[in-house]
Amino acid sequence: MKKFALSLAVAGAIFAAPTVTDAMSMGDRGDDVRDLQESLADAGYNSSSNVDGVFGPLTLSAVQDYQSSNGISSPAGNFYGTAGPATQSSLGMDGSGSTSTASSGSSSSSSDSSSQVAGTSDVSNSSGIISTARSLTGSPYVWGGTSPSGFDCSGFIQYAFQQNGENVPRTVAEMWNAGTAVSNPQPGDLVFFETRTGPSHAGIYLGNNEFIHAGSSTGVTISNLSTNPYWSSTYIGARSM
């Protein structure tokens, strides 16, 4: 979908040529990211069509899958989705890429354990929220519900965020008004739908056009924004909380 085409706008500071000790995360771009994408593709964790030198949602998902499969990190890990020395070494990367550009406000890092890895805290918290949300799959839908015994759509979102130390408003309309509009949602952002007048349903974006939500006829489930005609036709936008 065009709504989810990754923006190629360049923002942030230019760092020195990376070595195997430089971590890469969401928003980074350059030849080092391209090397990472190619290494993931060679290992069977990334599509060869997603080798563009931009660390976006598809690359994040590929890194996370590789880390989980190879015992490097997990959704509960602080650096899940950040390609640091352990991930790069496991992929056999020699760190010989060229300069890269990181997202605004990012800092370079010398190891996966550094607290200065670009975007680490956001990625980590989003991973925790997503992990909590996934663990609730199958919970029934209950109007006004706010616990695993039964959720409505906003109660489900509020619960997943609260379990990870984040407070969000209670209703879909309030979430819509409180969030920051984003054109390309990232994992952990909220996606909104107009099933009645105005924002009336919402879910947590997982990446790859998938989101998890509490549907009135399904309970907590995962749906696809591009292949499900109902959700693609009622989608009205995304918000970062």
Same domain, 69 and 93: yes
pTM for the complete prediction? 0.52
Indicate if 153 belongs to the active site.
Answer: yes
- The CATH number of the domain holding residue 58 is 1.10.101.10
- Residue 15 has a pLDDT of 31
Give me the tens of pLDDT residue by residue for the chain, a chain 241 residues long: 433 333 333 233 323 333 343 788 887 888 888 888 888 888 888 776 788 888 788 888 888 888 777 777 777 666 788 888 888 888 887 544 333 333 333 333 333 333 333 333 355 689 999 999 999 999 999 999 999 999 999 999 999 999 999 999 999 999 999 999 999 999 999 999 999 889 999 999 999 999 999 999 999 999 999 999 999 999 999 999 9
40, 123, 153, 214: which is the annotated catalytic residue? 153
Same domain, 33 and 97: yes
- Residue 78 has a pLDDT of 63
Same domain, 105 and 163: no
CA 197 to chain centre: 28
22, 63, 154, 213: which is the annotated catalytic residue? 213
C-beta separation of 124 from 130 below 8 A: no
Same domain, 155 and 76: no
3-state SS class at 194: coil
- Which tokens hold the place of 40? 């993931």
- Residue 130 has a pLDDT of 95
The domain containing residue 204 runs over which residues? 131-240
- Residue 17 has a pLDDT of 33
Which of 84, 118, 152 lies at the terminal end of a domain, its last residue? 118
Same domain, 143 and 236: yes
Give domain status of residue 4, yes or no: no
Indicate if 96 belongs to the active site.
Answer: no
Q: Helix 31-42 to helix 57-69 angle, to the nearest 10 degrees?
A: 50
82, 120, 122, 201: which is the annotated catalytic residue? 201
